Chain A
Amino acid sequence: MCQECGCSQKGPYKIDGQSVGEVVLTPVAAGASSAVAHAHAHGAGHTHSHTHAHGHDHSHVHLDVNLSVLAQNDRFAERNRGAFQALGLSVLNMVSSPGAGKTLLLQRTLEALEGKLRAAVIVGDLATENDAERLRTTTAPVIQITTGTLCHLEAEMISTAVAKLDLRNLDLLIIENVGNLVCPASFDLGESTRVALLSTTEGEDKPLKYPPIFQNADAVVLTKTDLAKAVEFNRETALVNLHRASPKARLFETSAKTGAGMSEWCDYLVRLRAG
């Protein structure tokens, strides 16, 4: 289910054109819950007054549950993360609006990393294998997920897709999320690094208009710097806005077309693996 836009029905999705049956899970408690009589553990910052509906006998038991309701995606994500960490695999989740330049950036990145890192890509779109075909011009293994109607990738799709990869012989897994500046912000895929892209053609104020996607980014790539002049892109304003929306993010300024800034970006990916 999508918390942001409510496109709640995850239909059948496809991996490399093959339909994947939906996995239905029953919720399982993470850790044991305890049945105690009115013992509350409260985090800081909230208070509550306790009222009882009377007119019933008082043999009720208070049961502390403390489970996140969105736990299903989160559980898959944690399982993915654990598996990736055990293998020492660094995993990027790349998010941006459609057309921000994710696929060309990836194409050039994979070419530049050849011989330095063993990389593979999972790419998500609503339909077509076009992006996978563009990326298959490189030597990296590429898996296309077509989500049908779903506006974002979910952790369970990633765990299904990685089964087709030989993770032990990889250093870097790059997930190109569905182009969408809203919903992917809410869905942890189990990545180690989240990367948001902003293209110069989108305007300087995108980070202020769509803050959540930038807020939890570890790195931001400003793309299409070769077009900055033509679209009268104000770099200073954009950098101020990016810093306000994603204060912890490392910033890279790239043009996949001219190659400007690509070596800094690729060095960062190599260091991620080392760190």
Chain B
Amino acid sequence: MHEVSIMRSTLDVAEDQARRSGATHIHSLRMRIGLLSGVVADALRFAFEALRQNTLAASALLEIEEVRPACWCMDCQAEFEVNDYIYECPRCRRPSADLRRGREIALVSLEIS
């Protein structure tokens, strides 16, 4: 159920940003969610439906961009996609500690007026 509190924070940030720009409506919110973030996109959408009433985003669309996790391999000097919690390069089998993407929970942009 932590998606509810994450969505509440997202709406707080969105309203704050919209008001600073002098807007009275939020028409859409774009979020970026990494697949290793521990946040489930569908649960986030459900929370959005429940929480958007009485906010500037009451009739807004929620767009969620999912980010596939990727690590950097020092030996191969290349990225590889991570499909497991053990980050091992599929080319050389060397483990990597350098996760470049996949843990994001971010509000990317808004459409406002």
- Tell me the A residues contacting B by CB distance below 8 Å: 1-4, 6, 8, 26-29, 33, 35, 40, 43, 45-46, 48, 51-53, 56-57, 59-72, 186, 208, 211-212, 215-216, 243-249
Chain B residues with Cβ under 8 A from A1's Cβ?
Answer: 2, 5-6
Chain B residues with Cβ under 8 A from A29's Cβ?
Answer: 13, 16-17, 20
- Tell me the B residues contacting A by CB distance below 8 Å: 1-2, 4-6, 9-10, 12-14, 16-18, 20-21, 23, 27-28, 30-32, 37-39, 61, 63, 65, 67-68, 70, 79, 85-88, 94-97, 99-101, 104-113
Q: Which of B39, B68, B112 has the most chain A CB atoms inside 10 A of its CB? A: B112
Show 20 residue pairs from A and B whose CB-CB distance is below 8 angstroms, ordered by the A residue.
Answer: A1-B6, A3-B2, A8-B1, A27-B16, A29-B16, A33-B20, A45-B68, A59-B113, A62-B109, A63-B111, A63-B112, A64-B108, A65-B14, A65-B108, A68-B106, A69-B106, A211-B86, A215-B87, A215-B97, A243-B95
Chain A residues with Cβ under 8 A from B113's Cβ?
Answer: 57, 59-61
A18 to chain B, nearest CB (A): 27
Does the CB pair B97–A246 fall under 8 Å?
Answer: yes
Chain B residues with Cβ under 8 A from A70's Cβ?
Answer: 6, 9, 105
Q: Which residue of A lies closest to B66 (CB)?
A: A46
Chain A residues with Cβ under 8 A from B88's Cβ?
Answer: 244
State whether A244 and B85 are in contact (beta carbons under 8 Å apart), knowing that A53-B28, A70-B105 are contacts in the complex. Answer: no
State whether A53 and B61 are in contact (beta carbons under 8 Å apart), knowing that A29-B16, A29-B17, A247-B97 are contacts in the complex. Answer: yes
Does the CB pair B106–A3 fall under 8 Å?
Answer: no
B112 to chain A, nearest CB (A): 5
Chain B residues with Cβ under 8 A from A40's Cβ?
Answer: 109
A249 vs B87: C-alpha distance in the bound complex, in angstroms?
14
A205 to chain B, nearest CB (A): 11
Chain A residues with Cβ under 8 A from B99's Cβ?
Answer: 215
Chain B residues with Cβ under 8 A from A59's Cβ?
Answer: 113
Chain B residues with Cβ under 8 A from A69's Cβ?
Answer: 6, 9-10, 13, 31, 105-107
Among B1, B9, B14, B38, point to the contact of A186 (Cβ < 8 A): B38
Among A57, A63, A68, point to the contact of B105 (Cβ < 8 A): A68
B13 to chain A, nearest CB (A): 5
Does the CB pair B37–A211 fall under 8 Å?
Answer: no
A72 vs B9: C-alpha distance in the bound complex, in angstroms?
9
Q: Which residue of A lies closest to B31 (CB)?
A: A69
Does the CB pair A48–B65 fall under 8 Å?
Answer: yes
A29 vs B85: C-alpha distance in the bound complex, in angstroms?
32
Does the CB pair A6–B1 fall under 8 Å?
Answer: yes
Chain A residues with Cβ under 8 A from B9's Cβ?
Answer: 27, 69-70, 72
Chain A residues with Cβ under 8 A from B65's Cβ?
Answer: 46, 48
Chain A residues with Cβ under 8 A from B107's Cβ?
Answer: 65-67, 69
Chain B residues with Cβ under 8 A from A51's Cβ?
Answer: 63
B84 to chain A, nearest CB (A): 9
Does the CB pair A4–B6 fall under 8 Å?
Answer: no
Does the CB pair B27–A53 fall under 8 Å?
Answer: yes
Does the CB pair A63–B27 fall under 8 Å?
Answer: no
**7 tightest Cβ-Cβ pairs between the two chains A and B:** A248-B97, A247-B95, A211-B85, A6-B2, A63-B110, A1-B5, A60-B111
A107 to chain B, nearest CB (A): 30
Q: Which residue of A lies closest to B16 (CB)?
A: A27
A61 vs B26: C-alpha distance in the bound complex, in angstroms?
10
State whether A46 and B67 are in contact (beta carbons under 8 Å apart), knowing that A61-B21, A69-B10, A70-B6 are contacts in the complex. Answer: yes
Q: Which of B20, B27, B38, B67 has the most chain A CB atoms inside 10 A of its CB? A: B38
